[in-house]
């Protein structure tokens, strides 16, 4: 979530500096990340920058905007550089994975009752057939190839989430 906000701030800074290529590139990256982590505020900000860049491109030139004082331009550039230089975490967002795993558990068990994230899934009513369907659903939703013994190696939602997040960082 915070990374999506930082990227949205970065693309807004590039737009202010009239660096349209960087604003558009960063805006698209911010849009993709914010949609993946369901950060609607960052998504809206990124979309706004992308729309402004496209409008300027279709007009054939950047519209005349009030020039920022040199000091403000330098401050915006410094902020954009520091955000861009911040280490980017690779891998899936744990909150996103937690939501996907929880939804898959509830779907596999055909229930809307909350299943505690530390509860052994085989004790919640999941059997070998539903565990295969559960794993296949996770593979499809997360774009991963989780092991056949997923339920035995990682018996709870928390263990599965930790494994998926750790595996996605490679």
Domain boundaries, the chain: 2-85, 94-168
What pTM does this model have? 0.49
Record the tokens describing residue 158, joined without a space. Answer: 């928390």
What is the phi/psi pair of residue 167, to 5°?
A: -65, -30
pLDDT of residue 67: 41
Q: What is the pLDDT along the chain (170 residues), one digit of tens a residue?
A: 677 777 888 888 888 888 888 888 888 888 888 888 888 888 888 888 888 888 887 776 544 344 444 554 555 555 555 555 544 456 888 988 998 999 899 988 888 888 899 999 999 989 888 999 999 999 888 888 999 899 999 999 999 999 999 998 87
Calpha distance 100→93 (Å, rounded): 11
Hunting for tokens 């054939």 — which residue is that?
60
pLDDT of residue 66: 40
3-state secondary structure of 80: helix
In CATH, what number does 94-168 get?
Answer: 1.10.1200.10
Task: Give the chain's largest Cα–Cα span.
Answer: 66
Calpha distance 96→36 (Å, rounded): 8
pLDDT of residue 79: 54
pLDDT of residue 116: 92
Record the tokens describing residue 99, joined without a space. Answer: 């939501």
Query: Which DSSP state fits 67?
Result: P
Are the CB atoms for 49 and 41 separated by under 8 Å? no
């Amino acid at each position: 979530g915070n990374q999506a906000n930082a990227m949205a701030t970065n693309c807004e800074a590039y737009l202010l500096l009239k660096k349209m290529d960087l604003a558009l590139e960063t805006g698209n990256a911010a849009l993709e990340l914010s949609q993946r982590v369901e950060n609607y505020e960052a998504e809206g900000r990124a979309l706004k920058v992308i729309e402004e860049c496209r409008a300027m491109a279709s007009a054939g030139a950047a519209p005349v905007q009030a020039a920022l004082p040199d000091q403000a331009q330098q401050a915006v550039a410094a902020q954009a550089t520091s955000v861009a230089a911040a280490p980017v975490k690779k891998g899936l967002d744990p909150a996103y994975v937690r939501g996907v795993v929880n939804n898959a558990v509830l779907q596999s068990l055909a229930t809307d009752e909350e299943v505690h994230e530390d509860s052994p899934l085989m004790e919640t009513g999941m059997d070998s057939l539903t565990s295969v369907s559960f794993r296949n659903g996770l593979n499809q939703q997360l774009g991963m190839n989780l092991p056949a013994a997923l339920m035995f190696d990682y018996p709870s939602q928390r263990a599965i989430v930790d494994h998926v997040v750790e595996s996605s960082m490679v």
